[in-house]
Chain A
Amino acid sequence: EPEVTQTPSHQVTQMGQEVILRCVPISNHLYFYWYRQILGQKVEFLVSFYNNEISEKSEIFDDQFSVERPDGSNFTLKIRSTKLEDSAMYFCASAWVYGYTFGSGTRLTVV
């Protein structure tokens, strides 16, 4: 069964540092997403990406966040200057007609 692959599985970074979370979506999917889940809280939408541009973003997705699909296979989420409150599980997802597939997530810990 096709998978969405995320790397790294766990990232520890110091406050103020930049991080890049990486995702390889399923190859024939056209819609890409990032969600996050703070420990003990609900899964929250961050951003959707289609046709090489952002199609929707949430209030959480401020100027510190950016997404990119640099080479037609990878889909990245960059956080420019991490804050303690960015500590969360970040899930990438891709979708086509038959629905979403989520990656196994990257646990980001900001210290």
Chain B
Amino acid sequence: RKEVEQDPGPFNVPEGATVAFNCTYSNSASQSFFWYRQDCRKEPKLLMSVYSSGNEDGRFTAQLNRASQYISLLIRDSKLSDSATYLCVVSGISNFGNEKLTFGTGTRLTIIP
């Protein structure tokens, strides 16, 4: 089983639509969870951390289900600028910021005008 598994897509959705991405991870000892965004041939950039209680940042909502080892990202009112690859990322037990990150393969999103 892959360490971090995502639907590779592509997801092609019209501007203004709501889109949801899912991710599962295999290591139950994982402690920190993130969604990163990667534009074509660019570095990954942190979109948001994911907490057990769920968290929201503007149009973006992330959820974590530790029992199911499942992470989700919801994007509401999608914009053309949301077109990118969304990476599900987990890291292991340690102080935040000094553990290796394990990346999923990413889900490609294209917003259609």
A, B co-complexed: yes
For the residues of B in contact with A, the DSSP-based class is loop
Q: A31-B97, A45-B101, A100-B97 are in contact. Are A91 and B106 (CB under 8 A)?
A: no
A96 touches B102 (CB 8 A): no
Q: Is B59 an interface residue (CB 8 A)?
A: no
B43 touches A31 (CB 8 A): no
For the residues of A in contact with B, the DSSP-based class is strand
B98 touches A105 (CB 8 A): no
Q: Which residues of B contact A33 (CB under 8 A)?
A: 100
In the assembled complex, the Cα of A104 lies from the Cα of B41 at a distance in Å of: 9
A104 touches B103 (CB 8 A): no
Q: Which residue of B lies closest to A4 (CB)?
A: B43
Q: Which residues of B contact A105 (CB under 8 A)?
A: 42-43
B101 touches A97 (CB 8 A): no
A96 touches B103 (CB 8 A): no
Q: Which residues of B contact A96 (CB under 8 A)?
A: 97
Interface 0/1 of B15-44, CB less than 8 Å to A: 000000000000000000000001001111
Shortest CB distance A41–B (Å): 7
Q: Which residue of A lies closest to B45 (CB)?
A: A102
- B38-72, CB < 8 A from A: 38, 41-46, 49
Q: Which of A45, A102, A104, A107 contacts B100 (CB 8 A)?
A: A45
A89 touches B41 (CB 8 A): yes
Q: A95-B97, A99-B97 are in contact. Are A104 and B105 (CB under 8 A)?
A: no
Q: Is A25 an interface residue (CB 8 A)?
A: no
Q: Which residues of B contact A97 (CB under 8 A)?
A: 95-97
Q: A102-B44, A102-B45 are in contact. Are A43 and B100 (CB under 8 A)?
A: no
Q: Which residue of B lies closest to A98 (CB)?
A: B97
Q: Which residues of A contact B105 (CB under 8 A)?
A: 41-42
Q: Is A18 an interface residue (CB 8 A)?
A: no
Shortest CB distance B48–A (Å): 11
B106 touches A99 (CB 8 A): no
In the assembled complex, the Cα of A31 lies from the Cα of B97 at a distance in Å of: 8
In the assembled complex, the Cα of A68 lies from the Cα of B33 at a distance in Å of: 29
In the A-B complex, the 3 residue pairs with the smallest Cβ-Cβ separation, listed nearest first, are A102-B43, A43-B103, A95-B97
